[in-house]
Amino acid sequence: MQEAIPYKSWLPTTTSSIIGGSNVVSTQISDVKNLVSENAAIVLGRRGCCLSHVVKRLLLGLGANPATYEIDEEDEKDVIVELERLAGGGLQVQLPVVFIGGRLFGGLDRIMATHITGELIPVLKQAGALWL
């Protein structure tokens, strides 16, 4: 019987500083590069997004155990900018986004297309997300 796997939430760190007598709170996004490099497969999506859930369930059904990070609406733009920078110039990132083996793989459409053609399992094996 399968056991429920807890998900992690995207939790930005906040720092506050005093500038000119006023208290200014600035949000710093955690290093996305570390999150991507630490996990063989990672799904980043909006909090409560059904498409992120579909991607996660597909990967779980294949035997991969992807890390899942849910992004709050107020942090979404900053995270997308960071993901686009990480993915390379000129690429536009839409959530949910999947990184496999430390590289941008794509979104739901790319995951489904490679799954249908039978190419997803070899990609996951090569990245170390599947052992069998």
Mean pLDDT of 84-104: 83
pLDDT at residue number 34: 79
Residue 13 banded pLDDT, cuts 50, 70, 90 = very low
Domains and CATH numbers, the chain: 31-127 (3.40.30.10)
pLDDT at residue number 57: 93
pLDDT digits (tens, 9 = 90+) for 33-72: 778 888 899 998 888 889 999 999 999 999 998 988 888 8
The pLDDT of residue 83 is above 60: yes
DSSP-based three-state secondary structure for 131: coil
Q: Which long-range contacts (CB under 8 A, 24 or more apart) does 73-81 make?
A: 73/46, 73/47, 75/10, 75/12, 75/27, 75/29, 76/46, 78/12, 78/27, 78/29, 79/10, 79/29, 79/32, 79/44
